[in-house]
Structure 1
Amino acid sequence: MRIRLVVTDLDGTLLRDDLSVSPRTRAALDGVRKAGVRVVPVTARQPIGVRHIAEDAGFEDWAICSNGSLGVHLGTGEQLWETHLAVQAQQALVKALVTAVPGVLCASVRDGGDKFVAQEGYSSIATYDDHKRDVTTMGNHPVADVLAEPSLKLILRHPEIGAEDLRLRLDELGLGGFSVTSSGAPFLEVMSEGITKAWGVARLCSLLGIEPREVMAFGDALNDVEMLTWAGRGVAVANAHPGTRAVADEVTASNMDDGVAQALELLVEQQGH
């Protein structure tokens, strides 16, 4: 079965550690597009963070953002879907987690990914690289205001507890009504129940008439696991989390060694272009 769609994570996968697109990677992306294969970024980033690198990568098609919660066209701005975590679910989650783990801070991503509403104190422990946005634009809001409107993605963070440990504490609470994952950043990312990168890719493929076996997916972090499992050909980069490598059909070189480019070059050769 020929590959018709390539979906790729960005940070830690397609991008080098300095967030650049290498010349080899750009050439490989152009090569698969020339061969008639669509390329779509699938990322925890919001559109504002994808547009920063879209020109370097040649992305002009659809993008799946916010871990699957948002499908948007990078050229026209058209939205295919926007799925939110309900107010009641996020309020219950934060109330229970803060009781169990005092000091947890949260932030709500809204309005197609353009608006970032951070709790008081959040911006003081955040950096630009965390969310690909200026920390001075995040605001300084009471937690009630952060949770008062539905979120494309809800961020949970503790100034002293890492994301994996915080996830364990959250799992111990046995709560439901949401999906939670981690992109390798120092915080947890919470979406509406059932929302993952795989969900977003599946929805896009249903609109494009593409089957799972016609999809090649690349990733490195735990939020890529479902996508690599769902795709007909799931590829982890060498620097991927062990859990991500474990579910991949194959492992390519690291992001710093142009692993995605190497796999795409081979794909074009295998498909006879």
Structure 2
Amino acid sequence: MRLIATDVDGTLIRSDHTLSTRTRRAFQAARDAGIRVLAISGRQPYSIGAIVQGTALMGPCVGSNGAVITDLETRQVLWQATVAIDVQQRLVDEMTVLFPTLKAVSVRDGGDLYFAEAGYQGLADPGELETLWPVTQRIGDREEVLAAPSGKLVLRDDHHDPADLLAAARGLGIDGFHATTSGAPFLEVGPVGVTKAVALARLCDRWCIDRADVVAFGDNLNDVEMLRFAGLGVAMGNAEPEAVAAADRVTLTNNEDGVAAVIETLL
């Protein structure tokens, strides 16, 4: 075990969005033992940093389901990928034919800018955001939202389940994007060929770590590729069936500190 990679929501943190003392201690013990630790999430780095600030997980992190790697200590973007403008425009156009009330949000600038389509429901009030550094929110028409490449493109229709949006997006026959869900009430669209596993592999190359020496934790559809990539993929006790099927082992739930329980045993 040379690297521990963990999803955040439904995995690292409890349902009340807190990071338990036991989990903090487990990651600190791992780092003290010379093991690299990494938070890897559909969230953006500013949000991941707000959660792990003051813990052993401060350092490089992966956001946007693998589309951005940022050093939380320096705020330096180490790597990022984006969805091409023409791809996201075509995708949104064709999805709107199927879901007329669909709205989009373009997440840009390493996750520090949210450009939401007018009428989008669900954008948090800036004063309520937990951030390690300031972020920007803008609202405009669809043409403006889709006029620049997105690290993550959010598609939401409150009249339809995200699973329905995912099935539809995958069935359109459009190349150039990767779609997934994370338990949030929207579809998450990223660059083609980019997943949490791809970002994790990039960091393994950077740190000269074999995938066999990686332990990864996850609970949802956007964790499947990462769980398969790791030498030991661990699904949470509260995980979706797809994550369980991709994992080598199932631990306790996030509310029972399932991540910490495995780390303690492995150490």
Normalised TM-score (structure 1): 0.92
* Number of the residue aligned with 1:23: 21
Alpha-carbon separation, structure 2, partners of 1:34 and 1:141: 47
Unaligned ranges ≥5, structure 2: none
Q: Is the 8 A contact 2:154 2:188 kept in 1?
A: yes
* Number of the residue aligned with 1:260: 259
Alpha-carbon separation, structure 1, partners of 2:71 and 2:95: 35
* Number of the residue aligned with 2:141: 142
Q: CA deviation at 1:159?
A: 1.8
Structure 1 residue 76 corresponds to structure 2 residue 74? yes
Q: CA deviation at 1:137?
A: 5.8
Moved more, 224-233 or 170-179: 170-179
Alpha-carbon separation, structure 1, partners of 2:116 and 2:260: 37
* Number of the residue aligned with 2:158: 159
Q: Is the 8 A contact 1:26 1:56 kept in 2?
A: no
Partner of 1:71: helix, strand, or coil? Answer: strand
Structure 1 residue 202 corresponds to structure 2 residue 230? no
Cα 1:186–1:178, aligned 2, differ >3 Å: closer, same or farther?
same
Alpha-carbon separation, structure 1, partners of 2:125 and 2:252: 27
Moved more, 68-77 or 194-203: 68-77
Moved more, 77-86 or 251-260: 77-86
* Number of the residue aligned with 1:271: none
Q: Is the 8 A contact 2:112 2:136 kept in 1?
A: no
Q: Is the 8 A contact 1:84 1:192 kept in 2?
A: yes
Select which of 91, 94, 114 maps to 1:96.
Answer: 94
One-letter identity of the residue aligned with 1:111: D
Partner of 1:57: helix, strand, or coil? Answer: coil
Q: CA deviation at 1:57?
A: 3.5
Partner of 2:140: helix, strand, or coil? Answer: coil
Q: CA deviation at 1:149?
A: 0.3
Alpha-carbon separation, structure 2, partners of 1:133 and 1:175: 35
Alpha-carbon separation, structure 2, partners of 1:254 and 1:119: 36
Q: CA deviation at 1:29?
A: 0.8
Structure 1 residue 116 corresponds to structure 2 residue 114? yes
One-letter identity of the residue aligned with 2:229: W
Q: How many aligned positions are there?
A: 263
Percent identity for Structure 1 against Structure 2: 43
> Deviating runs (4+, > 6 A) in structure 1?
none
Q: CA deviation at 1:60?
A: 2.2
| Deviations, residues 39-76 of structure 1 (Å, cap 9, x unaligned) | 00001111110121122533222101111111111111
One-letter identity of the residue aligned with 2:24: R
Normalised TM-score (structure 2): 0.94
Partner of 1:246: helix, strand, or coil? Answer: helix
Higher helix share: 1
* Number of the residue aligned with 2:61: 63
Q: CA deviation at 1:165?
A: 1.2
Unaligned ranges ≥5, structure 1: 269-273
Structure 1 residue 10 corresponds to structure 2 residue 29? no
